[in-house]
């Protein structure tokens, strides 16, 4: 799995974080797509105010993932949130 960040300033100086990601695994690629739908092209404040873990629980995804995949999703979300916190 890889995750790449582009940080850009929009009109008025507002910063927006754009993510791209991919994986060899189709399942992980789908999990990345969900996370990117939530977080990509958002401001750092929007990212920090959202709770992707709650959404994943609400969708019932954690029940269907191995512990290793669940840990990977958590790590990906933590990294995105850390990126956002670093630019606030």
Q: What tens digit of pLDDT does each residue of 18-47 get?
A: 999 999 999 999 999 999 999 999 999 999
- pLDDT score recorded for residue 20: 96
Higher pLDDT, 4 or 11: 4
Query: In the chain, which ranges are E strands?
Result: 2-9, 15-22
CB burial class (10 A; 0-12, 13-18, 19+) of residue 35? buried
pTM: 0.88
If one looks up domain 2-87 in CATH, what number appears? 3.90.1010.10
Helices 52-59 and 67-87, axial angle in degrees (round to 10): 150
Q: How confident is the model at residue 83 (pLDDT cuts 50, 70, 90)?
A: very high
- pLDDT score recorded for residue 45: 94
């Amino acid at each position: 799995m890889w995750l790449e960040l582009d940080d850009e300033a929009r009109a008025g100086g507002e910063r927006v974080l754009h993510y791209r990601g991919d994986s060899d695994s189709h399942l992980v690629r789908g999990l990345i797509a969900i996370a990117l739908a939530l977080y990509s092209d958002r401001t750092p404040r929007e990212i920090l105010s959202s709770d992707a873990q709650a959404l994943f629980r609400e969708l019932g995804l954690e029940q269907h993932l191995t512990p290793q995949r669940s840990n990977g999703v958590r790590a990906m979300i933590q990294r995105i949130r850390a990126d956002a916190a670093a630019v606030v």
